[in-house]
Structure 1
Amino acid sequence: METIWLAQAKRLQALASTGLHFCTDAFERERLEEIAEIAHSMLAQLADVPLERITGLVPDFAKRYSTPMIDVRGAVIEGERILLVRELTDGCWALPGGYADIGLSAAQNIVKEIREEAGLNVTARALYSVTHKAKGLYRPDVRDFYKLYFLCERVDQVAPMAGFETTEVGFFTLNDLPPLSRGRTIESDLEAAFAFHRGETTQTLFD
């Protein structure tokens, strides 16, 4: 879960971005730009990264009303095992998924992501969880995300295969999990998937 200072710096940045998008007064824009600079500096210090890295993470700054990004993740469960992919970026494991692409529904996005990252053809059966990343035990992020988790099923028996953004694919039990990519997936995401799969939970979880 992110600290109060990170949450406030992100909110300050979002307000500056939205304000600059709509603002037409030159003096007010100058004040908003200063607020944006302060917010970016705060985020850079809190994340311990160069300022350029912060501005690079928000390339659409002040170009639209500032809203959370969407991350879709899919759980494919077979027996007592769940599908995970090993991420190329950090070498750790996560539920397959990623940013939602414009032009596709959330369900279409996760079907595409699982095909690209794990080589499997699936159908999205149910939305089992909607999470605000900032409120979970994920690695802190200077961006803001809603995370959508789908329970998916295979539609054929093609063998899993890593894609361009993954290096390995495998099925794991909850008692034998590999190191997780904690900015993407945490244990509670997997536990919630099994609970929904078993019928122990029948309603979509949300915070």
Structure 2
Amino acid sequence: MESHWLTHAKRLQAIASTGLHFCKDVHDRERYQEIADIAHDMLAQLGNVPLERITDLVSDFAQRYSTPMVEVRGALIEDGKILLVREQHDGLWALPGGYADVGLSASENVIKEIHEEAGLEVAVRALYGVRHKAKGPYKADHRDFYKLYFLCERQGGPAPVAGSEATDAGFFALEQLPPLSLGRTVERDIQEAFDFQQGKTTQVLFD
């Protein structure tokens, strides 16, 4: 779970972003901009990164009502093993998925991501988890995310092959997981997929 300071800094940033988008009064805009500057400085110091890096991460700052980003992940389990892909970014492993694209439903995004990252055609069976990234055991992030997890089934086809957004893909047993990319997937996400697939959990898990 992220620190209280990171949570507060992100909340201040969101308030400033929304305020600057809607506010017309020049004096109030100055105050919102001051809050934004403070929030960005806090985030830069908390992450030990240049201030420019923080502003780059929020390219839509003050352009709309500030809301969490959406990430989708797909769990494909076959013969007691789960599909994982090796991320280009850090060389670690994760459930296939990524940012949700505009114009596609959540399930359509999952289907697209698994095809792009592992070369497989799948159908979405069920939603098994909706997680707030900030409240989970993930690597800290300056952005705010809702993470949606779907259980999938393969629609035939060959063995998984890494696509353009991954360097490797394969199936792994729960007790033999490779090093995970903890900003994207933690062991809990994988355990919950197995539990749902085996009927141990029948309701969507959420924060």
TM-score category, normalised to shorter length:
over 0.9
Task: Report deviation, 1:159.
Answer: 2.0
Structural RMSD (CA): 0.5
- 5+ residue gaps, structure 2, are none
SS in 2 for 1:11: helix
SS in 1 for 2:104: coil
1:105 matches 2:108: no
SS in 2 for 1:169: strand
Equivalent pairs counted in the alignment come to 207
- 5+ residue gaps, structure 1, are none
**Which whole-Å CA distance do the structure 2 matches of 1:43 and 1:91 have between them?**
26
Which residue of the partner structure matches residue 157 of structure 1?
Answer: 157
Q: Which residues in structure 2 correspond to 1:80-119 (within 5 Å)?
A: 80-119=80-119
SS in 2 for 1:126: strand
TM-score w.r.t. the length of structure 2 is 0.99
Task: Report deviation, 1:158.
Answer: 2.1
**Which whole-Å CA distance do the structure 1 matches of 2:159 and 2:177 have between them?**
21
**Which whole-Å CA distance do the structure 2 matches of 1:140 and 1:62 have between them?**
23
Which residue of the partner structure matches residue 134 of structure 1?
Answer: 134
1:15 matches 2:15: yes
Which amino acid in the other structure matches residue 193 of structure 2?
Answer: A
SS in 2 for 1:188: helix
Q: Which residues in structure 2 correspond to 1:44-123 (within 5 Å)?
A: 44-123=44-123
Which amino acid in the other structure matches residue 202 of structure 2?
Answer: T
TM-score w.r.t. the length of structure 1 is 0.99
SS in 2 for 1:6: helix
Task: Report deviation, 1:173.
Answer: 0.6
Task: Report deviation, 1:157.
Answer: 2.5
**Which whole-Å CA distance do the structure 2 matches of 1:148 and 1:48 have between them?**
29
Which residue of the partner structure matches residue 43 of structure 1?
Answer: 43
Which residue of the partner structure matches residue 169 of structure 1?
Answer: 169
Which amino acid in the other structure matches residue 116 of structure 2?
Answer: E
